[in-house]
Chain A
Amino acid sequence: MSVRKLASAALDGTDVATVGNLPAAASLRGASVKFGHFTALSDINLDIMAGEFWTILGPSGCGKSTMLRLVSDLIPASSGEVRVLGKPTEAARLAREFAFVFQDATLLPWRSALKNVELPLEIGRKRGVKIPLGERTPRELLKLVGLEGREDALPHELSGGMCQRVAIARALVCQPKLLLMDEPFGALDEMTRDRLNLQLLQIWRETGTTILFVTHSIPEAVFLGQKVLMLRAHPGRVKAIVDIDMPGAREMRLRETPAFNRYCARLRDLLEEC
């Protein structure tokens, strides 16, 4: 079932798109965001199904970050509706249904790697907030991202790539059903980025979480995404949704295949039209 069909099904009267009994991980219905008179996002209609990996591309300033901030309840929709796992975004935030990974790791510099991963578990605990515990402990998560043995290191003792991996572990600690990532590897060198891409795919397969991943790298978008969402600017709208359908495992060699390069070329053309 394609996304476009689901979106049109919603317009036909179905309230929230579902696969089986699962509500969409995120659904936007005519969602717009205005900053004063400036329209950053206009009439976005999307359904991100549970377990999918979406990458978001678009010219800079087209509203990619705004879209993630909208889904994560950091900014309100000026009109339209946004739901995360069938709930309003605020309810989803309070239930810790989603987590956010920023471009810079935003670790607390006075906390060790492990303590940083534990932060989400501490917040709200004294107030009796029910914190969803993941299957993995913070220690296991650090191991999952390849930082075993560095639990006690302070952020300034870690490289940029390591810090970002701590941030990913922190995002996973409440076992979010939706992971929002805003150019998380944008500031890293190419080799580190490639390694983290593979690691992220492995995490995605192991946890089954839904991922919305903003990037400005076309190859990265094609390599990671099952679907690539292309936004265009002024105002931010959906330009295209491209299904990435490549046989075989996602490994680095995939990048040399003709299919991969065809997708990249097509997205580059689309980006130029924006």
Chain B
Amino acid sequence: MSVTEPTPSATGSRPAGGVSDEVRLRLANIAVPLGTAVTLLVVWQLGVRLFGVPTYIAPAPSDVLAVFRDDFPLLMRNFWPTFFESVMGFFIGNTAAVLIAVAFVHSRLVEKAFFPIAVFINTIPILAIAPILVLVFGAGLTAKVVIAALICFFPTLVNMVRGLQSVNPQTLELVRILSASKAEIFWKIRLPSSLPFLFSALKIAATTCVIGAIVGEWIGADKGLGALIIDSTFNFRSPLLYATVFVSSGLSVLLFTLVTLAEKASVRW
């Protein structure tokens, strides 16, 4: 409980000891969730052991940790393919979304022609479209990248269109008085205005692209975290399954963190 105490005192008064209060606040911000997680793990470990739950139904945290110790190379062998599929899907899907958003904002006609199609594609559940894409592109890397790209695409498209249109009307009047060209308005006004919107979409995409890649691997793959999930499930290797799930979410967290760092570096207002 003591970890929660610094929070109110730190926000309440910060005269002479301002710096140390800030450090304490930051420590508390890390310590509170960490403490909660550790507590949950302990409860889980004790629960499984006390009630004698079989390992193939629910492994104890110690069993999962053992997998990380013994089968780390296996996890890594399957981590990298999923990593590459996710990252490539992320770049391709988001780049396409940004370019199409720019086209939409420049031409009402293009928007009218293609927006309904974009909405339609978005309404198809990714699980339903994934087998089709595997059939089309084969069991290799391409299908997974396409699925990951597809899952990123729509949220970024919608956010980017909104971002490019988010310019304050008075700012547009200002640049009109300066007789700015369309290109200048785009590069100097619209694009920077859209950055906060783009980054909130990219944060969503950072986690969904991993889901896309894993779903693709479920359908047909012999390597990757998705394949390992299927494999360990059917072989009742639950500790391995759990470890794979943790690695998958670790991948999402990694990509999310990278996007957040890029945002901090480029959106300072």
Contact = CB atoms under 8 A, between A and B. Distances in A.
Contacts of A124: 178-181, 184
A242 interface: no
A106 B178 contact: no
B180 A110 contact: no
A259 interface: no
B188 A123 contact: yes
A193 interface: no
A108 to B, nearest CB: 7
Contacts of B178: 96, 119-120, 123-124
A123 B175 contact: yes
B164 to A, nearest CB: 15
Contact of B176 (A74, A108, A127, A155): A74
A81 interface: no
Contacts of B176: 74
A72 B174 CA distance: 10
B190 to A, nearest CB: 11
B176 to A, nearest CB: 6
B233 to A, nearest CB: 48
Interface string B232-269: 00000000000000000000000000000000000111
A185 interface: no
B183 to A, nearest CB: 9
B269 A109 contact: yes
Given A100-B173, A104-B170, A110 B179 contact: no
Given A94-B179, A129-B179, A154-B269, A74 B188 contact: no
Task: Name the 9 nearest CB pairs between A and B, nearest first.
Answer: A109-B269, A123-B178, A106-B170, A123-B180, A110-B192, A110-B269, A106-B171, A102-B170, A100-B177
18 contacts: A73-B177, A98-B177, A99-B177, A100-B173, A102-B173, A102-B174, A106-B171, A108-B188, A110-B267, A110-B269, A119-B178, A123-B179, A123-B180, A123-B188, A124-B184, A154-B268, A154-B269, A156-B269
Interface of A: 69, 72-74, 93-94, 96, 98-100, 102, 104, 106, 108-110, 119-120, 122-124, 127, 129, 154-156
